[in-house]
Amino acid sequence: MAVLGRDDILYYLNGGNDEELYAIADGLREESFGREVYLRAIVEFSNICNKKCNYCGLRAPNSKVSRYRMEVDSIIDSARLAAEAGARTIVLQSGDDFNYSPGQVEEIILGIKESYDVAVTLSLGDRSAGEYEHWFNCGADRCLLKLETTAPDIYKKIRCGENYHQRIELLRSLQDIGYEVGSGIIVGLPDYTLEQLADDLLFLSALDLDMIAAGPFIPHPDTPFSSAETSDIELSYRFTALARMLNPLSNIPATSALDSFDSKGREKGLQRGCNVIMPSVTPAAKRKDYNIYPGKNAISVDVADTISRAEELVRALGFVPSASKGSSRRMNNV
Ligand code: 5AD
Ligand code: SF4
């Protein structure tokens, strides 16, 4: 297929031909991954955050959140339950909670990797490159660091004064260290434009990412964006389908945020170019408090149940829950 230019991207983002776009994206996913879908089990181990992102329910000034911080042993325990239920990737995610020392994070990584043959992904926010390098040497495999937007001025606004250039620098350091690296954006933030989304797609694609995540913006009532418009979910499907066209080998999740709009959101994502789903295996009692956006973690079932429901969802579409760790095909093929 001819190279996809900015005008073509705008045409599709604008709904020029959804049927064609989704068919191409589905075909490319099939070429790269066949029938396999990767499951990533997320342990959301702390909802404490020292940042003030305007879009996020976990932002530090939100006093309505019931905050929790899991102990090292119970984090390892959640990962164990997920691994025993068949998960081959454990994602460790938290707010920007720097209370965990590098040694504690090391303990968690080693505790998981010593007992289970799984990949470990870190989604811990703005820790230092030195810390990330140490955790890579302890056996962590992947990192997820979202840009949320690739426009420096918008970044500064939505993340309350945070520095975009430092974030990009950290992302590049993670790639240099040797991690498989994922990033992405939120689709349909207040005042978004299709032009900006086209630029986001081109920028993210130029970063050579192993994983690209993009989900719809959902206004949270206890944030400065509470009265913003809910985004158009179709725009998120178009964005991830275009991300597939531009990055045939990257892992692209059908984000859980899709399900907050449409009970079949993740299914549609998987039929339109996505190849990953990320069920939460956070202990049921805490899951509802990891309330980044309304509807997040609404279902509370135990870990084995969560994994088997995710597998059922995959099978019901005619896909196969992959038995492999789902390492980056992009890395293996360059
Ligand atoms: N709507 C959609 N996605 C959101 N995130 C945070 N707040 C929202 C929201 N209101 C996403 C961000 C963040 C991830 C954990 O959740 O991309 O990185
Ligand atoms: Fe904290 Fe992440 Fe939410 Fe920002 S997006 S407030 S860093 S949890």
Q: Is 256 annotated as a binding residue?
A: no
> What is the arithmetic mean of pLDDT over 117-141?
98
Helix (H, G, I), strand (E, B) or coil at 320: strand
**Residue nearest to ligand 1 atom 2, measured at CA:** 217
Q: Is 123 annotated as a binding residue?
A: yes
Residue, of 284 and 60, whose pLDDT is higher: 60
The ligand that comes nearest to the alpha carbon of residue 253 is 1
Phi-psi bin for 227: left (phi > 0), alpha (psi -120 to 50), beta?
alpha
CB-count burial class (<10 Å; 0-12, 13-18, 19+) for 285: exposed
Pocket mutation for ligand 2, best pick of 44, 92, 96 (most atoms within 8 Å of C-beta): 96
Percent of the residues in the chain that have a pLDDT greater than 90, as a whole number:
88
ipTM of the prediction:
0.98
Instruction: Please determine, looking at this structure, whether the domain spanning 6-321 carries the CATH number 3.30.160.270.
Output: no
Give 58-74 as a DSSP string. T-TT-TTS---B--HHH
**CA-based nearest residue to 93, from 143, 167, 43, 39:** 43
User: What does the pLDDT read at residue 38?
Assistant: 98
**CA-based nearest residue to 122, from 86, 133, 286:** 133
Task: Provide the residue ranges of all domains of the chain, joining segments of one domain with +.
Answer: 6-321
Pocket mutation for ligand 1, best pick of 56, 171, 230 (most atoms within 8 Å of C-beta): 56
pLDDT, one tens digit per residue, over 64-118 is 999 999 999 999 999 999 999 999 999 999 999 999 999 999 999 999 999 999 9
Bridge partners, residue 91, by sequence: 42, 121
Distance 234 CA to ligand 1 centre (A): 17
Helix (H, G, I), strand (E, B) or coil at 148: strand
pLDDT, one tens digit per residue, over 14-55 is 999 999 999 999 999 999 999 999 999 999 999 999 999 999
Tell whether the model's pLDDT for residue 220 goes beyond 80. Answer: yes
User: What does the pLDDT read at residue 219?
Assistant: 96
Distance 41 CA to ligand 2 centre (A): 20
Tell whether the model's pLDDT for residue 334 goes beyond 50. Answer: no
Tell whether the model's pLDDT for residue 1 goes beyond 60. Answer: no
User: What does the pLDDT read at residue 300?
Assistant: 62
Q: Is 244 annotated as a binding residue?
A: no
Helix (H, G, I), strand (E, B) or coil at 43: strand
pLDDT, one tens digit per residue, over 231-290 is 999 999 999 999 999 999 999 999 988 988 888 999 999 999 999 999 999 998 898 899
Distance 285 CA to ligand 2 centre (A): 21
Return mean pLDDT, the chain: 94
User: What does the pLDDT read at residue 301?
Assistant: 73
Q: Is 31 annotated as a binding residue?
A: no
Please check whether residue 39 is in contact with residue 321, taking contact to mean a CB–CB distance below 8 angstroms: yes
Residues with CB under 6 A from ligand 1: 55-56, 146, 148, 186, 215, 217-218, 220, 257, 292-293
Distance 56 CA to ligand 2 centre (A): 6
pLDDT, one tens digit per residue, over 166-189 is 999 999 999 999 999 999 999 999
User: What does the pLDDT read at residue 299?
Assistant: 67
Q: Is 53 annotated as a binding residue?
A: yes
